[in-house]
Chains A and B, each alone.
Chain A
């Protein structure tokens, strides 16, 4: 799979690695303190120093907290919630999708009906309502993001299962007396997993966006824990005074999500240059 990656694929991979290095590296720095307020250093621009002589690479927020440390910690929160949610949705989606596609009949109708139902409520609305009700602890966020995101995997897995179950190697196994569990485990699952990874890397980005949106609306990660969405929301108040407050977390979000999505695109991109030459001989 890696050998098929193009230049842009490697670029995306590099971007992802650098982002992760930033997110997890900063917390190892000696002056790392995302919570410490410094009233002497409120709203310092990037590269500014406070009255008490401290240097802030990315400036400070309205409470004088170090933006660099807060961005890194918020990134860890986003990444962890995203990873948890992807796991949850992947497991639910693949399981339900394969069951629906393999067994068909009423089971399929119920599962796909559930998927349609979920699709007909905007995901963010469902999340808003669930977050408001179940409480926005990071764990709970990962779980509710996960259970509202299974449909993408479920639909793809079902589609593949529908065609795989008619493939002759599955028919041959059934003719040999294999059980449904055997066929799903030995034949369907290994054949859908690579595709699920591609869906997963795309969905990872989408989930990070969802979590950020929730936090932006004040329904996601709660203070004092920082999150990129919340930082943008706080920064909106100081848009004219200190635009970097909203811009920096936006850039951080963009880099993480873009690298995940470019990677997924690089894996899926097909050679679509099938076209005709200008001349017969060329």
Chain B
């Protein structure tokens, strides 16, 4: 897939000196600053950057859809020789949807909720094909639905968006985008809102429709792994400027800008466990507070405050092999990156799973159940949704259990039940040898001190009206043990200075807020910390900082973590043991190395195969297992094994009874698949 950008290829879209301004107070501020790039016919060009880098704005400007008061003040955009910036609104209408089309990030909101999906596709066809009859338009629309893999297209054509799952909606959005076979498809974080297995399906659909029509694609993403797998060439944006371009192999193989090198180094890898992740220090500056000189200079460990970096703004300059970099010292990057890689200490994992049976667990969960009453359907019949079924696991003091699964698998419900924010429907939880679920009153209050939580969303986890001091002091005030000195101490533990105390959450970035949330969770000196997607909302460079912090704190205070995440690479990096969940059940459980290296359950195998492996050459990446369909309705799961509806290895016996979670092939490695033995041994499966 990764073709080199041959010079004889024709340029499809050429963007030069694009600058986007927003009025700030009395002046203006450049959100996108002098960005130039070319896109060749039928290539996939990825625009990569963290939040606030200006990657989406750049594409909205290309489409002419920048919302006021943002304004493009400078630059040219040429599509197949046509200068787009000279067109007025109506002129652009002939381009939008016909020559360029876009797939937005969130399929849940991108479709009009009160209009049938078919009609929304029809509109797109009719606009640019005024001669077609209603019948022809509908036929074309249904054909599009078929092409993007929507089952029963005739029927589904007349449904409303709310009758579609997220993945299916994104297919509809793709159908709308492809309605007039555009030359350029813009995909703005097309899979970010979707689960891993659905993400793979959608990327597959995008590839198919593109290959069929020969359209070029701009893939906007923050996900380096995704980009590595799907892009031909990459442009890296940092704080409104393009800092590096090159082919995917060039950029990942030998980055020419320290920011790119840092990003790649801070990604956890699914095939190894390292002592510490590299992390870019600090955070992305606000657009009106960029440092003088190079915008990255304050975070750059290669710059070492050299004069050129702090005074002169580097421009994107040509490098050998058709690459570009905006670093004064781009030539040093390769050796600097190599030095960083060499500094990575790969941990030698010893199999300590036997340990689990030997010692007394700090947190022990046995056969935990949670049901929700849901009224549904005609006459409001009551139904029970089983959100958690027979969850059992043990965690030893000072260790980390990773809980992985897609949305709807019950992992967040599990966190809430453990925290007693919801009552369990059955089962038992022992915390420090005491039954947690039956505690009431003051016993519960004091038990809560030992079990604390850090949530996902750094914007919702802190009360916006409290100062940082009050936020961190709150748990102590609840338990009448307020101590101002302790607040300072906690703040220092998570790497923030005392000047933060009197400020409010609104003044902090996502990573800093998450640090504050961690400080609050540590205030009562808990034994166990539940981390519910605690790093999922953070940008890559910040995520590495917080992961390192969590590991440091664990080592310092002997903390035990329940680490809930959908990101398998991160789980691999931070966990000792891992439990994989599907539809409210654990379907595979064992030490992280065991499970990741010898997955027995086909669902685990599919999840692992979906992880982008940017560090492995394409040829060695192995087979990609594409799961069919969506998560079944949890109100009426399939009989027997709940996964069988999407399992390519399912046989008749799978429908009969639900397989137990037991050791099937190796000691201390449990799985819930009848065919685990064959599946873990490819040779046997073939026979």
Binding site for B on A (CB under 8 A): 167-169, 171-178, 182, 186-187, 190-191, 273-282
Contact = CB atoms under 8 A, between A and B. Distances in A.
B87 A275 contact: no
A178 B479 CA distance: 8
Contacts of B517: 172
Given A172-B453, A186-B474, A279 B464 contact: no
A49 to B, nearest CB: 55
B421 A174 contact: yes
Given A167-B460, A279-B85, A176 B92 contact: no
A176 B478 contact: yes
B455 interface: yes
Given A172-B520, A273-B68, A177 B449 contact: yes
Contacts of A168: 455-457, 460-461
Contacts of B71: 277, 282
Interface stretch (B59-67, B116-124, B252-260, B599-607): B59-67
Contact of A176 (B457, B460, B465, B475): B475
Interface stretch (B72-80, B128-136, B193-201, B585-593): B72-80
Contacts of B69: 273
Contacts of A187: 463
A280 B465 contact: no
A279 B461 contact: no
B461 A175 contact: no
B444 interface: yes
A173 B89 contact: no
B445 interface: yes
B68 A278 contact: no
A280 B69 CA distance: 12
Interface in B67-121: 67-69, 71-75, 77, 84-85, 87-89, 92
Contact of B68 (A178, A275, A281): A275
B5 interface: no
A187 B65 CA distance: 39
Interface string B443-456: 01110110111011
Given A182-B478, A191-B464, A278 B451 contact: no
A177 B445 contact: yes
Contacts of B456: 168
Given A168-B455, A273-B68, A279-B85, A176 B462 contact: no
A176 B445 CA distance: 8
Given A167-B460, A274-B67, A275-B68, A175 B478 contact: no
A146 B466 CA distance: 31
Given A273-B69, A276-B67, A172 B84 contact: no
Given A279-B87, A280-B72, A177 B478 contact: yes
Given A167-B460, A182-B478, A175 B520 contact: no
Given A173-B474, A177-B478, A191-B464, A280 B64 contact: yes
Interface of B: 61, 64-69, 71-75, 77, 84-85, 87-89, 92, 416, 419-421, 444-446, 448-449, 451-453, 455-457, 460-466, 471, 474-475, 478-479, 517, 520-521, 524
B448 A177 contact: yes
A275 B70 CA distance: 10
A171 B532 CA distance: 12
A87 B61 CA distance: 50
Contacts of A280: 61, 64, 66, 72, 77, 84-85, 87, 92
A276 B65 contact: yes
Contacts of A167: 460-461
A175 B421 contact: yes
Nearest to B95: A280
Contacts of B89: 276-279
Contacts of B73: 281
A280 B92 CA distance: 8
A192 to B, nearest CB: 10
Given A171-B421, A174-B419, 16 more contacts: A171-B419, A171-B453, A172-B455, A172-B520, A175-B448, A175-B453, A176-B448, A176-B478, A177-B445, A190-B463, A276-B89, A277-B66, A277-B89, A278-B89, A279-B89, A281-B75
B92 A190 contact: no
A168 B459 CA distance: 9
B524 A176 contact: yes
B34 to A, nearest CB: 14
A12 B74 CA distance: 40
Contact of A172 (B85, B87, B479, B521): B521
A169 B462 contact: yes
26 contacts: A167-B461, A168-B457, A169-B460, A169-B471, A171-B419, A172-B455, A172-B461, A172-B517, A175-B420, A175-B451, A176-B474, A176-B524, A177-B445, A177-B446, A177-B478, A190-B463, A190-B465, A191-B464, A275-B68, A276-B66, A276-B89, A278-B88, A279-B85, A280-B61, A280-B87, A280-B92
Nearest to B453: A175
A261 to B, nearest CB: 27
A175 B444 CA distance: 10
B465 A191 contact: yes
Contacts of B465: 190-191
A169 B463 contact: yes
A175 B464 contact: no
A186 B464 CA distance: 12
A191 B456 CA distance: 21
A114 to B, nearest CB: 24
A281 B72 contact: yes
A191 B65 CA distance: 35
A280 B451 CA distance: 54
A282 B64 CA distance: 11
Contacts of B75: 281
